[in-house]
């Protein structure tokens, strides 16, 4: 798998990005302010993530997604670790990430990649999304905030 920054002339893999965040408005906002990376096997895009500078020295990993048929093969973990390395190489001191209280797999993955929980944005998904989100039989209401010092 080859991971590279999306070229300015290329369009972002929107369907894949919307798997990570159902809000087209938020995804487009992240794309306009962040750096989009794609993971390819041959010339087929199988994964994506966006790094979004938020504060001085801090960058956030947003919109990470792997194509459904390629999930569970370790590609997600490879992308998270690549994002951390990119952030370090760009001189950032902290990487942050946020996920839903119902996103059990993502919470496992991020902690396995060295992230620690630092807070909860209570009712984030109630405030920002018009539709109710359920995963693993759990109502997604709160955003769990995680960070990693570089
Ligand atoms: N409990 C514990 N660990 C779990 C788990 C669970 N229920 N489900 C998965 N994991 C672990 C795996 O065991 C693996 O760890 P390991 O390498 O130590 O075994 C780790 O999670 C990552 O697995 P990986 O195969 O690399 O993940 P993936 O390629 O399937 O990608 C996502 C993970 C989240 C990117 C992918 O599922 C996806 O695109 N989901 C839809 C979009 C999304 O939700 N994005 C995140 C928004 S916050």
Give 76-94 as a 3 state SS string. Answer: HHHHHHHHHHHHHHCCCCE
Please give the share of the chain, as a percent, with pLDDT higher than 90: 93
Confidence at 49, pLDDT banded by 50, 70, 90: very high
Give the pocket of ligand 1 (CB within 6 Å): 19-20, 64-66, 71-77, 99, 103-106, 108-109, 112
Q: Return the ligand 1 atom nearest residue 75 CA.
A: 29
Q: 2-149 maps to which CATH number?
A: 3.40.630.30
Q: Cα–chain-centroid distance for residue 72?
A: 16
What local confidence, expressed as pLDDT, does residue 23 receive?
Answer: 87
* Tens-digit pLDDT profile for residues 79-136: 999 999 999 999 999 999 999 999 999 999 999 999 999 999 999 999 998 899 999 9
What local confidence, expressed as pLDDT, does residue 113 receive?
Answer: 98
Pairing verdict, β 116-121 and 94-100: unpaired
* Å from CA of 89 to ligand 1 middle: 24
């Amino acid at each position: 798998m080859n991971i590279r920054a999306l070229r300015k002339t290329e369009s972002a893999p929107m369907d894949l990005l919307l798997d990570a965040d159902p809000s087209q408005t938020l995804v487009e906002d992240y794309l306009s302010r962040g750096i989009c990376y794609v993971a390819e096997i041959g010339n087929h895009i199988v994964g994506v993530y966006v790094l979004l500078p938020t504060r001085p020295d801090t960058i956030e990993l947003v919109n990470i997604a792997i194509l459904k048929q390629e999930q569970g093969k370790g590609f997600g973990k490879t992308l998270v670790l690549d994002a951390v390395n990119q952030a370090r190489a760009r001189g950032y001191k902290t990487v942050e990430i946020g996920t839903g209280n119902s996103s059990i797999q993502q919470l496992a993955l991020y902690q396995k990649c060295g992230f620690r929980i630092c807070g909860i944005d209570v009712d984030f998904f109630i405030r920002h999304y018009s539709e109710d989100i359920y995963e693993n039989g759990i109502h997604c209401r709160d955003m769990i905030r995680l960070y990693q010092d570089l």
